[in-house]
Amino acid sequence: MTIPAEPQAIAPSDVPRRSLGAMLNIGAWIVLIVAFISFRFAVFEPFDIPSGSMTPTLLSGDYVFVSKLAYGYGPYSFPFLDSVLRHRIFAADPKRGDVAVFVNPHTGEDYIKRIVGLPGDRIQMVHGLLTINGQPCKRRRIDDFTEREWDERYNRAFETTRYRYRETMPNGVQHEILGEPTREAEDSLPQDDTDAYEVPAGMFFAMGDNRDNSADSRMGLGFVPLDNLVGRAVIRFISVEPEAHPWEIWRWPWTMRLGRFFGPIR
């Protein structure tokens, strides 16, 4: 005859202790998720570069982190809060030469350009030279640049060789810019000679570093309200060829531009 084993007693404190441990684990995950979302929306936000308007500083296929603390928080800093934040809070003015993300006031799209004109500035292009308050920026010709873009219509890459220069702004900011394709005469396009633009209060003037291949304040964009600023681009974190996507792991050996990983944006 087999004597049945007595049921093992469960300490009264075991069940609550296990439940408390599970709750703490869930709470820790919730805190981590909230912290990540807060960091992503309030501190640094990732953006991808879809076009070549900022080449050679930023290439199509670059992914950048944008500091949302740089200019304070405004109507376009957080999704769905544009009706709450009518103007920027903790506002800080951009500096001439900053590479900034902002919302196009006409279309609502995110744009990334270089800020070249601040309120009160007088901006003009004179035979290819950016002129700020009557002072031409210094520009030095360097080696030509081969721009590589992806043509969605024909599903193929195409390359264009462009004039490349190093530009120095009046405040000392230096960066590279591109001109028209080398098959054209230098500084021969309409956007190389413009009227003078007086930047109104509360606005800024933005241009792409790919000067003759950028829809910017000279060509349709116009002046941009400071309240439309999203943040300042501070670092590239990954970079892929324009026809590729970061999640295509099987293509990494051929499509990753490793030399552009984790590079500062100037």
Q: How far is CA 233 from the centre of its chain?
A: 5
Report which of 117, 41, 115 is spatially closest to residue 85, judged by C-alpha positions. 41
For residue 66, list its beta bridge partners.
45, 233
Q: Whole-angstrom Cα distance, residue 18 to residue 52?
A: 56
Q: Whole-angstrom Cα distance, residue 206 to residue 110?
A: 13
Residue 120 CA neighbour count, 13 Å, CB half: 1
Residue 4 CA neighbour count, 13 Å, CB half: 3
Which one from 68, 113, 214, 217 is the annotated catalytic residue?
Answer: 113
Q: Whole-angstrom Cα distance, residue 241 to residue 52?
A: 12
Which one from 53, 60, 214, 217 is the annotated catalytic residue?
Answer: 53
In single-letter form, the type of residue at position 54 comes to M
Specify whether 113 is catalytic: yes
Specify whether 138 is catalytic: no
Q: How far is CA 116 from the centre of its chain?
A: 16
Q: Report, as residue numbers or ranges, the catalytic residues.
A: 53, 113
